[in-house]
Amino acid sequence: MRKLEELVRPNVWNMKPYSSARDEFQGEATVFLDANENPYNGPFNRYPDPLQRAVKNQIAALKGVKWENIFLGNGSDEPIDLLIRAFCEPGIDNIVSIDPSYGMYEVAANVNNVAFRKVRLNEQFDLDTEDVLSAVDTYTKIIFFCSPNNPTGNSLSRDRLYQVLNTFSGLVVIDEAYIDFSEASSFLSELNQYPNLVVLQTMSKAWGAAGIRMGMAFASIEIISILNKIKYPYNVNILTQEKALEMLLNKEEMEKQLQIILAERTRLQQLLPELSCVKRLYPTDANFILTEVTDANLLYKQLVEQGIIVRNRNNVTMCNGCLRITIGTPQENDALLEALKKM
């Protein structure tokens, strides 16, 4: 890996972060007259912990990492944007990623005026290491991967990800939004081996909490410090911190739901191929199935008419004729199967 100082934008490297009242004083006190808060209306009158220590301690315990290796944001969207803003000089640096994949990497790159280079996956929806590495030049600061990948559903080959981690001298981001649905193990265990690795996870999928907006980035203390330096001081509000902690303390509930979703995924994998409108299912490690159907646009429209919304991926690279179907409750999946039977 290149020295962090060479990878980070000079203005970000040299700037001093905003110092909030909550940063300056930490410890025990009873009278808080430092932040111009209204003394009434507790607990919401107080600014939240800028570093979300209580939530991070629980995540650290669950994931076996140190709390200093965790960044929490307003969904994964926030660390995606912050990584680009911290490392990529607009109009000069570039990002490499795979195609098809999650759309937010490209949107965040476009917002920041950072060139985005898409490298097509191979026929197995896996990365071609040579293609990825030959898209890299000296201005490439970040490579974004997503595994299990959205919208294809498969995990990328671990060996190929290691090859990129070992060869590329900038940051390698592995978005693991769907890791809890997968048998594949997380790259979190590799954080200590690879100073250039950033792992993204979220509470939006397996944890069933897309509404509270809680995204996580895991990386070296040095990279996490850069993200902390440029984030909004109070980026995760009290309601989200409290709810996230409550849910993280009740992991059993998440695991119960996960087992049902996985069983339903297996059931749909058995029943969908029997339908005449379904041409093929792609293998999935996520809570959705990419399926090639006879006429994606028509089926999408007919499902909408039945009040059933799936994701039409017909216009996505390599996904011609495909719908992306999220695993729902048993009743919802039955409704989908019934509707598709008649199409």
Ligand X SMILES: *Cc1c(COP(=O)(O)O)cnc(C)c1O
* CA dist., res. 44 & res. 74, Å (int): 18
Indicate whether 150 belongs to the interface with ligand X (CB under 6 A): yes
Q: Give whichever of 277 and 310 is closer to ligand X, judged by the CB atom.
A: 310
Indicate whether 210 belongs to the interface with ligand X (CB under 6 A): yes
Indicate whether 76 belongs to the interface with ligand X (CB under 6 A): yes
Identified binder of ligand X from the candidate list 102, 116, 218, 300, rule CB under 6 A: 102
The DSSP code for 237 is -
Q: Give whichever of 81 and 340 is closer to ligand X, judged by the CB atom.
A: 81
Indicate whether 153 belongs to the interface with ligand X (CB under 6 A): no
Q: Which residue has the tokens 């999935």?
A: 284
Return the bridge partners of 120, or none: 99
Indicate whether 175 belongs to the interface with ligand X (CB under 6 A): yes
Q: Give whichever of 202 and 284 is closer to ligand X, judged by the CB atom.
A: 202
Indicate whether 75 belongs to the interface with ligand X (CB under 6 A): yes
Indicate whether 218 belongs to the interface with ligand X (CB under 6 A): no
- 201 to 11, 54, 138, 273, 314: CA distances (angstroms): 28, 18, 28, 31, 27
Query: How far does CA 181 lie from the centroid of its chain?
Result: 14
Q: Give whichever of 152 and 277 is closer to ligand X, judged by the CB atom.
A: 152
Indicate whether 202 belongs to the interface with ligand X (CB under 6 A): yes
Single out the residue of 102, 120, 121, 152 nearest to residue 284, CA to CA. 152
Single out the residue of 92, 194, 175 nearest to residue 141, CA to CA. 92
Site string for ligand X, 177-196 (x = CB under 6 A): x-------------------
Return the bridge partners of 281, or none: 291
Q: Are 82 and 227 in contact (CB under 8 A)?
A: yes
Q: Give whichever of 216 and 303 is closer to ligand X, judged by the CB atom.
A: 216
Q: Give whichever of 244 and 277 is closer to ligand X, judged by the CB atom.
A: 244
Neighbours of 320 (CB within 10 A): 11
Q: What is the contact surface with ligand X in residues (CB under 6 A)?
A: 75-77, 102, 146, 150, 175, 177, 202, 204-205, 210, 215
